[in-house]
Structures are given as C-alpha cells and as structure tokens.
Amino acid sequence: MTHTKFDWFEIAKELKTISQAGKHFAKDEYELKRHEDIERIAAQIFGRYVENMDAIEALGVLQEDAGYPTPKVDSRGVVFKDDKILMVREIADGGWTLPGGWCDTGSTPSDNVAREVVEESGYKVKAVKLLAVYDRDHQGHTPSYPFSIYKLFFLCELLGGEATVSNETSEVAWFAEDKLPENLSSGRTLPHELHQFFEHHRNPDLPTTFD
C-alpha cells in the first residue's frame, strides 16, 4: 500500500502518541526501551516529511513533550474597535494574525490571552467571552505539528494602550472585514476564523463554536 505524504505525517503523529503514553506507563526498562524505539521511528518519519527538520532535531522536539500525551493550548485575542479587528504581523513568517500564543501554566486562560495581546500589540484588554475552541488540525492550519493543539479564541474588551510592536511582531493594525490582509500567518489564524469572529461581533448572542 502506498501512502501519501500527509498519510505518513499522520502515521508518525500516531506513533508519537503511542510511544509517549507507553513511556509514561512503562513498568520496566524493557517496555520503556520498546517505546523509545517507537519514538525514534516516529522521529525518522518526521525528519523525512517535515521541512527544515532532520531526524535528530525531530527526536529532540518529541522528547520535549513528556508525560501522558495531551493537547497543547494556544490562546488568541479577538479585539474590535470601530468594526475593525486587531491584528499583528509576525516577524517569524511575515504573516498577519490575531495576537496570542502558548498558554503558560499557573495562569488562567483569560490572564494568558490578556498578557499575549498587550505583549504583541501594546493594547490592554480584558477577556469577556470565549468565542471558539478549535482543534488546530481540523481547521486546516499549516504547517502541521507533531502534537495536538487546541486553540482558544477570546473576545476581548479594549481597555487602553497604544500600538506597540514587540520582539515577535513588526506591525500592529486594525482591519475591516472587507479589507483583511491577504498574507495571513496560516499556522496561527485563518480567513474563515476571522469571518466567524466578525459574525460574532455583529451578533453578540451567538454561542461559542467548537471542534
């Protein structure tokens, strides 16, 4: 049976999940060794199918995520002013995105998103509603990651501040729905998500969307 590139990536992700759980529950050194071998096989596949990553680098990435496998969490702030949405340009890929990033342990989801927004855009905000909870892979974000990611999108109330770039962002701007930037940071924000949030802005009683 011939697999596509995407099939092999998914196979490697599944092997990674199996090996990570197996290492967590291993009862002896022999069982641990078997799951470490599976991890190395997954790393070789990732090294073959992930751009700019060899097997050694892939193994390092996999080994950073220890313990029972659970999704990582990314939070994004959805901020409106004069019917325009706040976006920042990422230095990493030059694309525009909603401000946000990985959630830190020890902080609540609302604290995380408020911190990310002010750090990346200069604007102080307060999270007021959870608009969406999405599985990153199911939304079509690229490039793919070797682990699962849940994305939390919070509607935020603008409290103050001014546009200020950071060590991660090169521009800060507000966009109307019919003038959204074409160059989006596809790993972070997608067009259909932005249109969904404008719909929430027009209809505040809409429920949280998920999956």
pLDDT value, residue 116: 97
- For the chain, the C-alpha Rg in angstroms (whole number) is 19
Q: What angle do CA 137, 143, 148 make, to 5 degrees?
A: 35
- N residues, the chain: 211
Per-residue confidence (pLDDT) for residue 24, from 0 to 100: 75
**Class at the top of the CATH hierarchy for domain 72-210:** alpha beta
Confidence at residue 164, expressed as pLDDT on a 0 to 100 scale: 98
pLDDT digits (tens, 9 = 90+) for 96-145: 999 999 999 889 999 999 999 999 999 999 999 999 999 998 999 988 77
Round to whole Å and give the CA distance between 24 and 77.
34
Looking at residue 199, its pLDDT comes to 98
- CA 6, 11, 13, 14 dihedral sign is positive
- Residue spans of alpha helices (H) in the chain: 5-25, 29-49, 55-64, 109-121, 136-139, 191-202
What amino acid occupies position 44?
Answer: Q
**If you ran DSSP here, which 8-state letter would residue 154 be given?**
E
This prediction's pTM: 0.74
Identify whether the C-beta of residue 201 lies closer than 8 Å to the C-beta of residue 193.
no
| pLDDT in single tens digits along all 211 residues of the chain | 444 445 777 787 788 778 877 877 878 888 888 878 888 888 787 777 665 566 666 656 666 666 677 898 999 999 999 999 999 999 999 999 999 999 998 899 999 999 999 999 999 999 999 999 999 989 999 887 777 899 999 999 999 999 999 999 999 999 999 999 999 999 999 999 999 999 999 999 999 999 9
How is the chain split into domains, by residue range? Answer: 5-64, 72-210
